[in-house]
């Protein structure tokens, strides 16, 4: 099977195609923007255009041998790296590198068979030092089939924190400082501020914006997604196809990862508003989050629910993202009469928790403290009662 087509970003694609046609595209790009908007898919498209044997003004031909190989993720000169779980039992750097490369090829095979199926890692992931060194060795070799090779590094911010040192990022930095003439690098990141300044300074930043809600809907409909699920997923996605997919049911009937996260965040909000404080601590202990990335995702979903509450408190419930939660939120808002500024203080407290979540914290303790503070803020702003029902 082949990769799904690129959706949207027409202006960016025209610019990239024109730059490649004029041989003026920088050798190192940093595609940055919200998570799930298609940065890595766009990077793969850039690689396909560059290697296309019958390139058009608007992009690749999609028919030549290079295009067919690129679309099947089998082109020997397109090297795509992305975060992976740390291999278990790798007792030496060589075994670590071999295990990571095997895991990378296994993941590429999964994407090849189901390019729209979101990855569901059950443990923290990263681009480890062994992978960065392997990438550097590969970049120092000659292309296999074309006259150039392209390295795509997805979620490049994970180069830094995973080994409590900047070694992995520095391994890449040495390559960016003196790139081979026949090599291009395309990095992507939804957290460019987490990259080393020296890496950012050696790449040309390109903002990849969210898609329109209609573009997300059209993409999902064209892929055969059930109509009753499309509108809600597109609304929740924030213009990111990758996120929209996370709200859809999985092929095996399971719940999408982002839908599970959304429901977990709603449960936390309900716990903060429950009559008994014990509910807060019970729900905090029930949260099985692994790693800062998962914790930050949960906090981001909680922030969306609070923004929905703010929309209701200001009289514009149609702006709420979680429309299925509007009846419950509206009832609570009527009962308690929370002013918008109280919800704004809650949002600020979630932002503060997100800062701490990027460090070495106990997720359950952080969540318990956050819910306790949200409860206190809302209780103190309630004009008609002394406790939250």
pLDDT in tens, 273-330: 887 877 777 877 777 777 777 888 899 999 999 999 999 999 999 999 999 999 999 9
Q: Work out the average pLDDT over 253-281.
A: 86
Encode 110-151 in three state secondary structure. HHHHCCCCCCCCCCCEECCHHHHHHHHHHHCCCCCCCCCEEE
| Residues 41/115, Cβ–Cβ less than 8 Å | no
For residue 146, pLDDT over 70 is answered with yes
Give the DSSP H or E segment for 79.
strand 78-81
Beta 125-126 vs 84-85: how paired, if at all?
Answer: antiparallel
- What pLDDT, on a 0 to 100 scale, did the predictor assign at position 227? 79
Residue 179 token pair: 């790139």
Q: How far apart are CA 112 and CA 72, in angstroms?
A: 6
Q: How far apart are CA 247 and CA 240, in angstroms?
A: 11
pLDDT in tens, 59-78: 999 999 999 999 999 999 99
| Residues 375/281, Cβ–Cβ less than 8 Å | no
For residue 166, pLDDT over 70 is answered with no
Q: Which of 88-97, 204-213, 360-369 has the lowest mean pLDDT?
A: 88-97
The pTM for the full model equals 0.84
For residue 169, pLDDT over 70 is answered with no
Q: How far apart are CA 203 and CA 298, in angstroms?
A: 31
What band does 382 get if pLDDT is binned at 50, 70 and 90?
confident
Q: Work out the average pLDDT over 14-34.
A: 95
pLDDT in tens, 344-372: 999 999 999 999 988 888 888 899 999 99
Closest CA to 269 of 299, 291, 248, 292: 299
Q: Please report, rounded to a whole number, the percentage of residues in the chain having pLDDT higher than 70.
A: 93
For residue 258, pLDDT over 80 is answered with yes
pLDDT in tens, 30-48: 999 999 999 999 999 999 9
- What pLDDT, on a 0 to 100 scale, did the predictor assign at position 284? 73
- What pLDDT, on a 0 to 100 scale, did the predictor assign at position 384? 56
């Amino acid at each position: 099977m082949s990769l799904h087509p690129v959706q949207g970003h027409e202006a960016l694609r025209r610019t990239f195609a024109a730059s490649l046609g004029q041989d003026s595209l920088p050798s190192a790009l940093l595609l940055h923007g919200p998570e799930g908007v298609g940065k890595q898919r766009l990077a793969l498209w850039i690689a396909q255009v560059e290697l296309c044997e019958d390139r058009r003004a608007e992009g690749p031909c999609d028919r030549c041998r290079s295009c067919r190989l690129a679309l099947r993720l089998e082109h020997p000169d397109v090297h795509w790296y992305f975060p992976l779980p740390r291999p278990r039992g790798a007792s030496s750097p060589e075994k670590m590198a071999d295990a990571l490369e095997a895991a990378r090829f296994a993941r590429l095979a999964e994407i090849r068979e189901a390019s729209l199926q979101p990855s569901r890692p059950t443990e923290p992931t990263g681009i480890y030092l062994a992978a960065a060194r392997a990438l550097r060795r590969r970049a120092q070799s000659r292309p296999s089939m074309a006259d150039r090779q392209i390295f795509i590094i997805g979620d490049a911010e994970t180069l830094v924190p995973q080994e409590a040192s900047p070694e992995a990022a520095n391994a890449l930095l040495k390559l960016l400082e003196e790139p081979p003439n026949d090599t291009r690098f395309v990095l992507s990141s939804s957290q460019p501020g987490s990259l080393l300044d020296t890496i950012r300074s050696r790449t040309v930043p390109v903002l990849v914006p969210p898609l329109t809600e209609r573009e997300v809907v059209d993409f999902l409909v064209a892929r055969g997604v059930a109509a009753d699920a499309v509108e809600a997923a597109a609304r929740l996605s924030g213009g990111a196809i990758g996120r929209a997919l996370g709200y859809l049911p999985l092929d095996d009937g399971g719940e999408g990862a982002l839908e599970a996260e959304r429901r977990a965040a709603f449960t936390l909000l309900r716990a903060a508003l429950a009559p008994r404080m014990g509910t807060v601590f019970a729900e905090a202990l029930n949260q099985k989050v692994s790693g800062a990335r998962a914790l930050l995702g949960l906090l981001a979903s909680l922030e969306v629910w609070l923004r929905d509450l703010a929309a209701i408190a200001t009289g514009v419930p149609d702006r709420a993202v979680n429309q299925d939660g509007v009846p419950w939120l509206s009832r609570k808002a009527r009962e308690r009469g929370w002013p918008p500024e109280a919800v704004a203080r809650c949002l600020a407290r979630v932002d503060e928790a997100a800062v701490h979540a990027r460090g070495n914290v106990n997720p359950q303790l952080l969540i318990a403290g956050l819910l306790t503070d949200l409860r206190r803020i809302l209780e103190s702003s309630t004009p008609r009662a002394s406790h939250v029902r």
